[in-house]
C-alpha cells in the first residue's frame, strides 16, 4: 500500500515545485534553456508564448523584433536583452536546436 500512495505524492510534489517557477499553461511551449525565465517574465504579459514561437526568425529579424518589443514595454535591461536574444536565436532561429511541437 505504501508504494501506491507514494507515487501520487511524488508526482504532486514535482508539479507543485515546477509551478513555483512557471505556472503550467501555454507558456510551457518554451524549451528549457538559459533565458527562458526572462522570456516568460518579459514577453508573456502582452501575449502568450505560442505567439512568439509560431514563426522562426533569423538573428537579424529577432534583433529587430526584440527592439520593437522593448520599445513597446518589455521590461529588460541591456544584459537581459542579450540573454533573451541568445535564447530566441538558439531556440527559434532558422536552424533550431530544440524541436517545438
Ligand atoms: C507591451 C506589450 C508587449 C510585450 C511586453 C512584448 N510584446 Fe511581442 N507583441 C506585442 C504586440 C501588440 C504584438 C502584435 C503586433 C505586432 O506584431 O506588431 C506582438 C507581437 C510579437 C511577435 C509576432 C510578430 C511577428 O511579426 O510575427 C513576436 C515574435 C513577439 N511579439 C515577441 C516578443 C518577445 C520575444 C517579447 C519579450 C522580449 C515580447 N514580444 C514582449 C506586444 C508585446
Average pLDDT of the chain to the nearest whole number:
81
Q: What is the CA(69)–ligand 1 centre distance, in A?
A: 5
pLDDT tens, residue by residue, 5-50: 576 655 554 555 554 444 567 778 899 999 999 999 999 999 999 8
The three cell numbers of residue 30 are 518554451
Nearest CA to ligand 1 atom 41: 43
- 46: domain CATH number? 1.10.760
Instruction: Give the ligand 1 atom nearest the CA of 84.
Output: 38
Q: What is the CA(51)–ligand 1 centre distance, in A?
A: 8
Residue 50 in any domain: the answer is: yes
* pTM listed for this prediction: 0.77
Q: Specify the higher pLDDT residue, 73 or 52.
A: 73
For the chain, how many structural domains are there in total? 1
Question: What range defines the domain where residue 91 resides?
Answer: 25-101
Residue 70 in any domain: the answer is: yes
Residue 54 in any domain: the answer is: yes
Amino acid at each position: 500500500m505504501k508504494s501506491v500512495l507514494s507515487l501520487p505524492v511524488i508526482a504532486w510534489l514535482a508539479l507543485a515545485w515546477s509551478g513555483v517557477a512557471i505556472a503550467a499553461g501555454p507558456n510551457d511551449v518554451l524549451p528549457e534553456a538559459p533565458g527562458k525565465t526572462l522570456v516568460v517574465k518579459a514577453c508573456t504579459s502582452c501575449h502568450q508564448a505560442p505567439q512568439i514561437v509560431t514563426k522562426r526568425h533569423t538573428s537579424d529579424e529577432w534583433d529587430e523584433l526584440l527592439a520593437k518589443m522593448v520599445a513597446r514595454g518589455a521590461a529588460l535591461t541591456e544584459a537581459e536583452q542579450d540573454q533573451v536574444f541568445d535564447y530566441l536565436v538558439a531556440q527559434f532561429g532558422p536552424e533550431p536546436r530544440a524541436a517545438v511541437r
